């Protein structure tokens, strides 16, 4: 078999499509300031697609050399799923105050891998439909939940640990945050100087970096934000 023709134009188009769909999946996470964005999803879908193509092509390439050996074209695919499981588990975190974050991001990692595998196996239209359906369904659910005032969907869950200077009143900090649209659900104060811990919902427009800069502008020097 000619090694030059092992990878054909069809396979290169599959890789291009997998990359495009990976970017599309990552975009949904990127606009919500999540740790797994466009680049991560792109890598996962692209390499998953590549390994699926390699797994299938390997059976065609080597079946003449090992006629007495039963070869499974989906063997590498099973290993992809296992490996992605470890990556997905790594982004699920349990935060203080019983906050668990990263579940949707882990699911997106898993789905990005699945899309790459599907494209690599030749299920082109199914992959395109699923990515579009998934994207619009996630955005649609977010829109619906925002309109029934569900704070889990209208804002990011944060825990802020703040060491206040002696001249700052905790009530002034709380009032200033509420003026920015932050909804505080739990307040803890201890020590002298006061260490203030706030569990809150921050609007998506107030990113982690903007919130950090805003707290700095209020005169707080020691800031620790958990998302």
Tokens describing residue 74 = 């989906």
Asked if pLDDT for residue 97 goes beyond 70, the answer is: no
pTM of the predicted structure, to 2 decimals: 0.56
* CATH no., domain 153-226: 3.30.70.260
Lowest mean pLDDT among 79-83, 119-123, 145-149, 215-219: 145-149
Domain ranges of the chain: 3-147, 153-226
Q: What is the pLDDT of residues 18-53, one digit of tens each?
A: 888 888 888 877 776 666 678 888 888 888 888 888
> What pLDDT, on a 0 to 100 scale, did the predictor assign at position 226?
73
Closest CA to 104 of 70, 139, 59: 139
> What pLDDT, on a 0 to 100 scale, did the predictor assign at position 3?
44
Closest CA to 42 of 111, 112, 110: 112
């Amino acid at each position: 078999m000619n090694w030059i023709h092992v990878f054909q134009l069809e396979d290169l188009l599959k890789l291009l499509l997998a990359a495009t769909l990976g970017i599309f999946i990552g975009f949904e996470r990127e606009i919500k300031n999540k740790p797994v964005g466009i680049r991560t999803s792109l890598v996962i879908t692209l390499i998953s697609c590549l390994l699926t193509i390699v797994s299938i092509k390997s059976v065609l390439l080597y079946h003449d050399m090992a006629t007495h050996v039963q070869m499974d074209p989906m063997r590498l695919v099973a290993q992809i799923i296992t490996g992605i499981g470890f990556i997905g588990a790594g982004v699920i975190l349990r935060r203080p105050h019983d906050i668990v974050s990263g579940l949707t991001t882990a699911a997106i990692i898993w789905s990005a891998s699945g899309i790459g595998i599907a494209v690599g196996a030749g299920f082109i239209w199914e992959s395109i439909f699923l990515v579009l359906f998934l994207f619009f369904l996630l955005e649609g659910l977010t829109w619906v939940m925002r309109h029934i005032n569900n704070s889990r969907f209208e804002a990011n869950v944060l825990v802020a640990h703040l060491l206040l200077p002696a001249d700052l009143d905790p009530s002034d900090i709380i009032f200033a945050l509420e003026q920015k649209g932050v909804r505080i659900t739990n307040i803890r104060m201890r020590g002298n100087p006061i260490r203030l811990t706030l569990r809150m919902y921050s609007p998506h427009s107030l990113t982690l970096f903007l919130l950090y800069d805003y707290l700095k502008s209020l005169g707080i020097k020691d800031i620790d934000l958990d998302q």
